[in-house]
Amino acid sequence: MGKKTHCVTKLRIISPMDDLSMVQKVAVWALPILFAITVHEVAHGWVAKQLGDPTAMMLGRLTLNPIKHVDPIGTFVVPFALMLMHLPIFGWAKPVPVTWENLRHPKRDMALVAAAGPGANLVMALLWALLMRVGLEIGGGEQAWLGRPLAYMGFAGIEINVVLMVLNLLPLPPLDGGRVLAGVLPGPLAWKLSRIEPYGFFILLGLLWTGLLSYVLNPPIDGMIKLIFSIFKL
């Protein structure tokens, strides 16, 4: 989805990700991808529990153990295939089940549950930025062996989480943005929007294939990454 954002710092110790070998890229991206996808799903289940639905908890999905959440295609095959093709990386995990009838205010609460995933990605992007800042601070001297990997991993964490946040906020069911929109629209319009859900994945593939998805997502992704870099002086 568009060209990569490269990290430029005053310390000049971070070079573009393309300078890394494939083994190094896998090492740098593995933890950020797993955390981004896993915490996103746990956030859905945790908020659902707070709003009255314990389904995710009863199924053992309120855990950071990635084994409970990984989807072989979305968590491994797709991200690393995109890495091999030098494309921005995204992926997905097994969706956390939510029983909307258990929610106290189903329509409103489903929107809140949906918003929790992108919200978690935003928080994680900020935490990875903090880690990157630490890596830059210690990476210019004798501790470069530690600082450089931290800074690279921090950058990967920022990018994957911003991409997942922006992608999931698209107002297209079954993405989180579609569920949020359905939660705020009047009943008849929300029902019409929900009818798109069986075709949402194919619409997304079509947008990706035609390049329209990059056209839509690149500006907010680049803008958010630049904002985070500015806040943390990266």
Per the CB < 8 A criterion, the answer to whether 124 and 157 are in contact is yes
Q: What is the pLDDT of residues 199-221, one digit of tens each?
A: 888 888 788 788 888 888 889 99
Q: What is the dihedral of CA 50, 52, 53, 57, to 10 degrees?
A: 50
The full set of domain ranges for the chain reads 17-231
Q: Global pTM? A: 0.84
**Band of the pLDDT at 157, cuts 50, 70, 90?**
very high
Annotated catalytic residues are 41
pLDDT confidence of residue 27: 83
3 state DSSP class of 234: coil
Encoded tokens for 26: 């896998």
Q: Which of 156, 35, 176 is nearest to 88 (CA)?
A: 156
> Cis (ω within 30 of 0) for the bond into 174?
yes
